[in-house]
Structure 1
Amino acid sequence: MTQVHSREAAVLVPVVDRGDAATVILTTRTRSLRKHSGQIAFPGGAIDPQDASPEAAALREALEEITLDPAYVEPIGRLPRYLTTTGFCITPVLAIVSPGFTLRPNPGEVADVFEVPLGFLMDAANHRQESRMFDGLTRHYYTMPYGERFIWGVTAGILRTLYERFYA
């Protein structure tokens, strides 16, 4: 039996403080990436040895991927770790982002960066449970279609956890 070694990763779950119209910043990964290409994702990636913490890694990755200046970001906690089928153990770092930032996608990693209303994402009516056969196993996952964008997999799973923790 082979043992799957997981890589430690961190993502920023950036909630923009726009009062009653709070939003969540998401990205669309470029099609050229090896893993999860073309998918909607939070800014984030592998925790490097020089990162002091998952928070440091998430902030570094958000700066690298979408130029989100850490001066606008206040990490407020962690959501439960999320193990992916591709071998990553992800620590989601929940953060409040103050308005006034400027975002520019890094074209090597991010095709698009956009905001989705928090109210939409935290409404259970917008959460669909689906399943698919993958490597001989039935995998269950959430989807949250938003306009022409299809939020699913790890990203939808982390958003669902946020919903269950704070809104359910």
Structure 2
Amino acid sequence: MNQITPLDEGFSARAFARRVALKGKESLDRDHGDHLLNPELDALISANPLRDAAVLVPIVDRGDEAGVILTLRNANMRKHSGQVAFPGGAIDPEDDFQPEKAALREAHEEIGLEGRHVEVIGRLPRYLTTTGYSITPVLGLVKPPFDLAPNPDEVADVFEVPLSFLMNPENHRRESRVWQDKERFYYTMPFGDRFIWGVTAGIIRTLYERLYS
């Protein structure tokens, strides 16, 4: 059985990579998503075909304290407008239907992050959404220095959050609201004036449960 040793403690990018390596591909076939907090959504999610998508979870090597790159989506986007998100999008034929290629392409298109700065080290289980997507989160280590150039048509802002903040369960709030006459549960992770919730918070929670809980 894999064990986390004292060398894997802390929140550096390399300690993160060590945890990913120890976990390997275990349980990658287990789906995560809105339906796990809300079992009644199973029927809604399975009613229509899901489109494959990928996001990059960029872990920036900042020494002892890694950062996580997040974006604020443009307010005019058709879906999830104005929300905090990982760079990503649909997996296209040009990606050879590979999540890693799609995640790196989207990160370059959305925030100008060049693939030569990213070391892909693994995946998370797929995350299913009520908006019709099956999302594969791709884990990547980002090595500074690098320049970012957000695409203003898609991204209003780019910022980093300390990995230690996101992996602290005390910062994970389980909240709910009424949607289609039913109470729906979801996670939120407020960070300063940034409100992380929905799919992004769900993926972060999956990362925590898989590697740190």
Amino acid at match of 2:92: D
- Which of 115, 136, 154 is the matching residue for 1:91? 136
Counterparts in 2 of 1:98-113, with a 5 A limit? 98-113=143-158
RMSD, matched Cα: 1.3
CA shift digits 1:75-107 (9 cap, x unpaired): 111101001110111000011111111111100
Displacement after TM superposition at 1:136 (Å) = 3.0
The unaligned stretches of length 5 or more in structure 2 are 1-42
Residue 47 (structure 2) pairs with residue 47 (structure 1): no
Residue 59 (structure 2) pairs with residue 15 (structure 1): yes
Amino acid at match of 2:173: R
Displacement after TM superposition at 1:49 (Å) = 1.2
Displacement after TM superposition at 1:21 (Å) = 1.4
TM-score (norm 1): 0.97
Question: Which residue is equivalent to 1:62?
Answer: 107
Question: Which residue is equivalent to 2:171?
Answer: 126
* % identical aligned pairs: 68
CA shift digits 1:89-135 (9 cap, x unpaired): 10000111111111111000000001000011011110000111222
Higher normalized strand content (fraction of residues):
1
Distance 2:59 2:110 in 1: 17
Displacement after TM superposition at 1:31 (Å) = 0.4
The unaligned stretches of length 5 or more in structure 1 are none
Amino acid at match of 2:147: T
TM-score (norm 2): 0.77
- Which of 138, 142, 152 is the matching residue for 2:197? 152
Question: Which residue is equivalent to 1:165?
Answer: 210
Following superposition, which runs of at least 4 residues in structure 1 exceed 2 angstroms of deviation?
135-138
Q: Secondary structure at the match of 1:20?
A: coil
Higher normalized helix content (fraction of residues):
2
Greater Rg, structure 1 or structure 2?
2
After the TM superposition, which of the residue ranges 158-167 and 39-48 deviates more from structure 2? 158-167
CA shift digits 1:23-74 (9 cap, x unpaired): 0000000000000000000000000111121000000000000000100001
Aligned residues: 168
